[in-house]
Structure 1
Amino acid sequence: MSAPSKEKLSRNRDYRLLWSGQVVSEAGFSTATIAFPLLVLAITGSAAQSGLVLGAIAIAQLVAGLPAGALVDRWSRKRIMLGCEAVQALGAASLVLALWWGVAGLAQLVVVAVLMGLCRALFEPAEEASLPRLVSTEQVPSAVALNAARTSAGQLSGTALGGFLFALGRFVPFVFDVVAHVVAFVSLVFVRLPARPEPAAERPPAHLGREIAEGLRWVWQQPRVRVTAVCAIVLNLFFAAYYLVIIVLANERGVPAGEIGVMAAMLGAGGIAGALAAPYLHRRISPYALIIGVFWGLTVLTPLAVFVHDGYLMGLLFAAMAFLAPAANTTINTYQLLYTPDELRGRLGGVMGVTGGLAAALGPALGGWLVDLLPDSAAVLSCAGAIAVVTVLTTFSRTLRGFPAVADLEEETHNTKES
């Protein structure tokens, strides 16, 4: 079995191929996601049906998340990733042809959206589980952070590009999506992913439900994995609620729509900058101090929105908050990936994807409820207070205080396997 390269990550040919292909794939996916509601509105004139198509992507990804994680641990991960890129390219191509012939309908749009969600549910845990076999242990934090930056960059570029391409023609965004997934497929073909350990590769398939339960049980029984997962999920839930509250508050204060758009863009830009800085911070600050520092930073920054009435200043505040989060996420994800046995990494990704997706879906609903129930400032402070509670609980967590550095993980993981 070939070992992951120990050269600089920037010189790791296989990781470069995977990363560059997925930058394009992410942009294509985001472009199609923006174009979908515009296309449904153009065809049906119904905002509700627009929401149905977009919702189909998220629902399919959530429903398939746990089974997908188990299948990632059972099947060849490279073949899964190749298959997902191929299916997404074919789905987008079918829309291009239907639009060209004037026969595109709501049913086809829903089917393609479901396929996109299913492919995301499979691809994300497959790629994440493959990272420790593609790069050395020391490179995992940088790879995790660069993947986060890649996702944010793809979303920003795709969001900006989707509306522009749709204005050129209804089918144009989906042509771009086809090309993006073809490029990603070709890049993946040339990625040399080392073989998995023989016991995992030769293990006979069990009942899918038992495999899912095994993954859930493992995640829950590992204190550090469980605690970091719960903290991240709760924090994401309340931050998603906070984001919606701030957008509504800005609108009610008369902030122009253009400034609100800049606010959202600055949030994405802050996330990219934070992801690029995360490996540097991860190397120089202990895991516990880094996680707690990020949480306390968010606790201090979130209430300031009560006093900020300018859209651009609010954008700077958003950028500062988004800059902090990737450092904690890099530390948490690195630990979870390296500590989890290879044969369970897909299921770990499936569990985290589903719980994170639920938090992302429920957060805006909670934010909307708070806006309807409370005055503006009280809604902001409620979200900030919830984040502060999570921060305090995390600060006094004995489990997190013993969080190991990456250098200590290999020995700890070896001892866990021996026992």
Structure 2
Amino acid sequence: MTTTHASQPSQSPPDRQAPSRPSTPLWRNRDYNILWISRSLTEVGFNASTMAFPLLVLAVTRSPGTAGLVQGVNAAAQLLAGLPGGTLVDRWNRKTVMLTCEAARTVALLWLVWTIWTGAVAVWHMAVVAAVLGVCSALFDPAEEASLPYVVPPDQLAVAVSMNHARNSIGHLVGTALSGALFGVKRVLPFAADALTHVVSFFMLLFVRLPKPERQAEGAPPANFRREALEGLKWVWGHRLIRVTAMCAVAVNFLFQVLYLVIIVVAQQSGVPSAQIGVMAAMFGGGGLLGALAAPRLYARCGPRVSVVLTFWAMAVLAPVTLATGNGIVMGLVLAGIAFLAPTANTAVSTYQLLTTPDRLRGRLSGVIGLIAGISTALGPLTGGLLMECVGARWAILLSTLGIAVLAVTVTLSPTLRGFGKLAATPPAEDGTGRSGAAADTHDPH
């Protein structure tokens, strides 16, 4: 398979490389710190409102099914907008995309706050706001990720990616903790807090310095949205190492979702008190946060390939331990151990993909990866639930462990991943057609 970009180089100008920056410490990087702090605030607000949405629906309708429907609207909107969102990000000014998304989120949340405050809130209000938030996430996330190589130098990209994982974990822990407390005081407070974070983020993003997108080359055919979207899919599928690493990341996230649900159910069936189950969930989040903070050093020490392989084997070894204990703290330690290594694997994969992909395709890369990751995240709990229905929770863990072990062996022996460390260590240079050298080395000939 050949990419559209490689086979028709005359249709688009050479991609720009990210400007060379001195390797100053990341904490002194003005633009990255603005992005990191603003997104950290919105992550707290997002998680606070996400936890409060089903509580609000239940308070208004007393229908668990309706609560699930509203949550489903958000997920569906994000998935449906994922691929076209990445394409639009590659067309438009990425800073403008992020600012527009923050403005739209603010307006939608303030409208919801007003309807709650006046007592007029209805299910359709919540569904509309959930859809707006989902679409904005599908646009904002690829725009921010595609901008990252312009904000930090290549040698610091892995650290920046891992710190972004830490930011997400912090937002989850703080946001979910605040949500219940704020909702208990006043139903409107979690959503008002979320709106406030987007207002602050909007004004912070005004000061981020990002390059404007290049105009299309003179004489090039007019842009075709469908062709551009397909070019993003072809880029991911047509480059073996990007395709394989993407599948590894999706598999890790999918199996996380399966195991998390099944282990929680096993704990409940083993008589673990509800308070300890809550501690288990917190330990899982804490493990992910500590793993994100440790990811730069682990990535530097282990290398990209070992980081991915080690994550699969850790899951395969740790998951069965939960069957040998009825102690919630031990189960929580297992969950924390599983969560600890995932950020290092995700850092290895994301860093390689960003460095290898031409700038003009980075939005579409993020959109494609986000789409398949979102599908796997949604299917994980469903798969775990079906396994438990069919064979019971304990057999579900054993079968999941068997599947993880098979994947671990496959990843360990994969001839494609044997070259992962070498290619990921040095950012590839693009040739005159805009295609990267590393991508050419891993490009499928057929």
For this structure pair, what is the TM-score category when the shorter chain's length is used for normalisation? over 0.9
Q: Could you say what secondary structure the match of 1:190 adopts? A: coil
Q: What TM-score do you get using the length of structure 2 for normalisation?
A: 0.90
- Give 2:185's match in structure 1, choosing from 154, 158, 168: 168
Cα separation, 2, equivalents of 1:387 and 1:418: 31
Over the aligned positions, Cα root-mean-square deviation in angstroms equals 2.0
**Are 2:293 and 1:276 equivalent residues in the alignment?**
yes
- Give 1:222's match in structure 2, choosing from 204, 219, 239: 239
Q: Give the deviation of 1:410 after TM superposition.
A: 3.1
**Equivalent residues, number:** 419
The match for 2:15 is none
Alpha-carbon distance change, 89 to 377 in structure 1, aligned in 2, over 3 angstroms: same
Cα separation, 1, equivalents of 2:218 and 2:400: 46
The match for 1:298 is 315
**Are 2:330 and 1:308 equivalent residues in the alignment?**
no
Q: Give the deviation of 1:25 after TM superposition.
A: 0.4
- Give 1:257's match in structure 2, choosing from 268, 274, 294: 274
Alpha-carbon distance change, 200 to 87 in structure 1, aligned in 2, over 3 angstroms: farther
Cα separation, 1, equivalents of 2:402 and 2:384: 13
Q: Give the deviation of 1:261 after TM superposition.
A: 1.2
Q: Give the deviation of 1:217 after TM superposition.
A: 0.8
Alpha-carbon distance change, 417 to 332 in structure 1, aligned in 2, over 3 angstroms: closer
The match for 1:410 is 428
Give me the identity figure in percent. Answer: 49
Alpha-carbon distance change, 204 to 40 in structure 1, aligned in 2, over 3 angstroms: farther
Alpha-carbon distance change, 395 to 90 in structure 1, aligned in 2, over 3 angstroms: same
**Are 2:358 and 1:351 equivalent residues in the alignment?**
no
Superposition pairs for residues 11-160 of structure 1, below 5 Å?
A: 11-160=28-177
Q: Give the deviation of 1:69 after TM superposition.
A: 0.6
Conserved in 1, the CA contact under 8 Å of 2:19 and 2:150? no
Conserved in 2, the CA contact under 8 Å of 1:27 and 1:155? yes
Alpha-carbon distance change, 394 to 163 in structure 1, aligned in 2, over 3 angstroms: same
- Give 2:416's match in structure 1, choosing from 385, 399, 415: 399
Q: Give the deviation of 1:406 after TM superposition.
A: 4.4
**Are 2:389 and 1:367 equivalent residues in the alignment?**
no
**Are 2:346 and 1:329 equivalent residues in the alignment?**
yes
Q: Which amino acid aligns with 1:143?
A: A
**Are 2:406 and 1:384 equivalent residues in the alignment?**
no
Q: Which amino acid aligns with 1:410?
A: P
Cα separation, 1, equivalents of 2:424 and 2:212: 23
Cα separation, 2, equivalents of 1:149 and 1:414: 30
Cα separation, 1, equivalents of 2:101 and 2:37: 17
Cα separation, 1, equivalents of 2:283 and 2:289: 10
- Give 1:237's match in structure 2, choosing from 254, 260, 263: 254
Cα separation, 2, equivalents of 1:166 and 1:136: 42
Q: Which amino acid aligns with 1:18?
A: L
Q: Which amino acid aligns with 2:271?
A: G
Q: Give the deviation of 1:414 after TM superposition.
A: 5.0
Q: Which amino acid aligns with 1:271?
A: G
Conserved in 1, the CA contact under 8 Å of 2:357 and 2:436? no
Alpha-carbon distance change, 203 to 124 in structure 1, aligned in 2, over 3 angstroms: farther
Q: Which amino acid aligns with 2:93?
A: S
Q: Could you say what secondary structure the match of 1:348 adopts? A: helix
Larger CA deviation: 263-272 vs 281-290? 281-290
Q: Give the deviation of 1:95 after TM superposition.
A: 1.1
Conserved in 2, the CA contact under 8 Å of 1:85 and 1:181? yes
Alpha-carbon distance change, 258 to 315 in structure 1, aligned in 2, over 3 angstroms: same
Cα separation, 2, equivalents of 1:247 and 1:156: 18
Conserved in 1, the CA contact under 8 Å of 2:271 and 2:326? no
Higher relative helix content: 1
Cα separation, 2, equivalents of 1:201 and 1:246: 58
Q: Give the deviation of 1:202 after TM superposition.
A: 11
Cα separation, 2, equivalents of 1:14 and 1:62: 29
Cα separation, 1, equivalents of 2:439 and 2:301: 28
Cα separation, 2, equivalents of 1:193 and 1:3: 13
Alpha-carbon distance change, 291 to 260 in structure 1, aligned in 2, over 3 angstroms: same
The match for 2:9 is none
Conserved in 2, the CA contact under 8 Å of 1:287 and 1:405? no
Q: What TM-score do you get using the length of structure 1 for normalisation?
A: 0.96
Alpha-carbon distance change, 47 to 55 in structure 1, aligned in 2, over 3 angstroms: same
Q: Could you say what secondary structure the match of 1:409 adopts? A: coil
Conserved in 1, the CA contact under 8 Å of 2:93 and 2:212? no
